[in-house]
Amino acid sequence: MRDELLRQAKRVVIKIGSSLVASRETGLSAERIERLAGEIAEVRAQGREVLVVSSGAVVSGIKKLGLREYPKSLPLKQAAAAVGQSLLMWAYEKAFERLTLRVAQVLLTHEDLADRRRFLNARHTLTTLIKFGVIPIINENDTVAVEEIRVGDNDTLAAQVAHLVDADLLIILSDVDGLFTVDPRKDPTASLIPLIPEITKDIEQRAGMSSTFEGTGGMATKVRAAKKVGEYGVATLILNGTRTRLLPDVLSGQSGGSLFLARERRLTSRKHWIAFTLRPRGHVQLDQGAVEALVRNGKSLLASGILDITGHFDAGDPVTCAGPDGKECAKGLVNFSSEILARIKGLKTADIQKIPGLQEYEEVIHRDNLVIL
C-alpha cells in the first residue's frame, strides 16, 4: 500500500524546514538549497507536479542583520523576514534556473485562506502556475502578518496549501527521520514507524516538540498537519531532508521516513476549510439531545438545543459547539450574531417566529455549514 501510494501521487506539496536551508551561525545555505532543488527536479522528472513551502526567511535575515538571537519583538522579526525572504527566494531562483526550471514566489497569510473568495483566488493562481510548469515557492508573509492573521508555522501552512491545491501527497522535509516508537534522543531502542494507518491518541502522544533554534515547530506540528490533510484525503510523508537523495529514492519505492495514511471518508473542500482553516469567533454549549442530533443523525443545529454561548460574533462567523461535558463535537458557520443568539437560545422555532425581525433562518447552523469534529 505504501509503495503504491507514493508512486501514484501526482501533485505533491513539499515543505522544507528552516534547519535544512539556514542557520543563525552561517545564514542561508546555498549549497543545501542547490542539492534540494536537484532532488525536486528529479521528482518533477518522475511526472509529478510540485509545490514547495519553504521556511528559512527569518533565520536568514537574522544572519544578514547581525542579530545575536532570535528576534522577540514583532517589528524586528518582520524586518528579519523582509531581508531574509529576498535572500531565500534569490537562492531558489538561481538553483532552479541552473536546472532550466522556473519558480514563482507566493506569500500567504491566514487571512488569505480564511476568506473564501481569497482562498479560491489563491487556488486559481497556484493551479495556473502549475499548468505553466512553474514551481511555486510558498511562505507565510511574515513581513505584514500579525498574530490575528498568522498561520503560525509552516507545517500548518503546508497542510493548508495541500488542501488549497487538492494535492495527492504532503511531504515534510525536516532534520529527523520520521516518527519513532519513543524519543530516539533518549532511548537507543527507539525504532522508526514506517506506516501510520491512523493518527490515534497514542500516536499524538509520541510526537515531541523541537528544541532546535531554527525550527518553530516539531514532531507535534507535523502530526497535526498530517491529521488535518488526512481529513481531506491527503497522505503525509515525513522525511529527513539532510539525507542526500532520500526524497526521490523514497518516492521511487525505497524505504525511509514515516507515511501517515489519509482517512477513507474525505471531507469536502468547503467543510475542510471550515474545520481546519477558519478560527472560531465564539463557542456554543449544547444539551445532550442537540449533540446526538448533530453527531448521530446529521441534523442542523436549532436554537432549542443551545444552553449557553460565549464570545462575540456576527452572522456567518465560525463557532465551535460542545456538549454539556464541555467536549467539542462540531464547528460551523452560524446564521445569527451572538447578540441575537443570546436572545433566542433554548427557544423552539415556533416561538422564535413570533419575535418581530428575528426570524431569518430556522437553523442556527445549517448542516451544510457544519463539520463534526
Q: Binding site residues for ATP, as ranges?
A: 15, 174-175, 216-222
**Which cell numbers in the block locate residue 311?**
464570545
Segments of the chain assigned E as strands: 11-16, 22-23, 27-28, 49-54, 103-108, 135-140, 169-174, 195-196, 235-240, 258-260, 282-286, 306-311, 318-322, 328-333, 370-372
Segments of 111-168 assigned E as strands: 135-140
φ, ψ for residue 128, nearest 5 deg = -70, -40
Residue by residue, DSSP assigns 35-75 as HHHHHHHHHHHTT-EEEEEE--HHHHHHHHHT-SS---SHH
**Which cell numbers in the block locate residue 305?**
438545543
Can you tell me the distance from the alpha carbon of 371 to that of 330, in angstroms, rounded to the nearest whole number? 5
Name the binding residues for substrate.
Answer: 55, 142, 154
CA atoms within 13 A on the CB side of 54: 35
Cβ–Cβ under 8 Å, residues 214 and 19 = yes
Name the binding residues.
Answer: 15, 55, 142, 154, 174-175, 216-222
Parallel/antiparallel/unpaired status of strands 195-196 and 169-174: unpaired
- Where residue 38 falls (left for φ over 0; alpha for ψ -120 to 50; beta otherwise) is alpha
Contacts of 70 by beta carbon, 8 Å cutoff, 6+ apart: 24, 58, 62, 213
